[in-house]
């Protein structure tokens, strides 16, 4: 038990608690990822690719920029991902004629057809969570609140020092 001697119990607890909090989210995300990986392998999609397809199924053709806004992802992530979906024959990419900077992303016939099989996914995931609809909704609300708070803190970095004063 060499357990870092000089430090007080109080300090040790501070860091241990923090590990539990951030680690819980980290672990939940990876566990979710694992389940989606398993469920989605039938469709030949990764989890982020599935998210992209969900947006396309819901909204139809739209530029990379809009896609990134829906998913909070930038072109650095989306460009290679969309290329892989294009190679897989699920997605079509073409520069907009109206604005040559913009690239329109749309579904191929195959990509549209895949939606039928994707309808099974939510039920499978739901079964894996063991949560009922109310619990899921509640958890989602908390996560969204958390995300909003974290985004606000990032936008105003002094919040990270516990300051309440505005610059």
Single residue of 98, 100, 101, 142 touching a copy of itself by CB under 8 A: 142
Q: Which residues between 38 and 77 bind a copy of itself (CB under 8 A)?
A: 38-39, 47, 51, 54-55, 57-61, 71-72
Of the two residues 87 and 161, which places its CB atom closer to a copy of itself in the complex? Answer: 161
Size of the site for a copy of itself (CB under 8 A): 79
By CB under 8 A, which span of 2-10, 81-89, 92-100 interacts with a copy of itself?
A: 2-10
Nearest to 89 by CA among 68, 114, 66: 114
Count of residues making up the chain: 167
Q: Interface with DNA by CB under 7 A: which residues?
A: 26, 30, 33-34, 37, 46-49, 63-66, 68, 72-84, 93, 98-103
Tell the smallest beta-carbon distance from residue 117 to DNA (Å). 18
Q: List Cβ<8 Å contacts ≥24 apart for 64-67.
A: 64/102, 64/103, 64/105, 65/102, 67/105
List alpha helices for 72-108, DSSP H. Answer: 75-87
CA angle 16, 20, 22 (to 5 degrees): 115
């Amino acid at each position: 038990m060499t357990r870092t001697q000089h430090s007080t119990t109080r300090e040790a607890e501070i860091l241990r608690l923090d590990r539990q909090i951030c680690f819980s989210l980290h672990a939940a995300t990876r566990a979710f990822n694992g389940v989606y990986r398993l469920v989605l392998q039938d469709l030949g999609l990764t989890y982020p690719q599935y998210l992209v397809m969900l947006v396309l199924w819901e909204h139809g053709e739209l530029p990379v920029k809009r896609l990134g806004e829906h998913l909070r992802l930038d072109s650095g992530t989306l460009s290679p991902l969309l290329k892989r979906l294009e190679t897989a024959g699920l997605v079509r990419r073409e520069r907009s004629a109206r604005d040559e900077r913009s690239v329109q992303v749309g579904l191929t016939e195959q990509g549209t057809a895949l939606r039928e099989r994707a309808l099974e996914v939510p039920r499978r995931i739901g079964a894996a969570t063991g949560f009922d609809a109310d619990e899921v909704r509640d958890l989602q609300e908390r996560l969204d609140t958390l995300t909003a708070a974290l985004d606000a803190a990032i936008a105003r970095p002094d919040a990270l020092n516990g300051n309440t004063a505005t610059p």
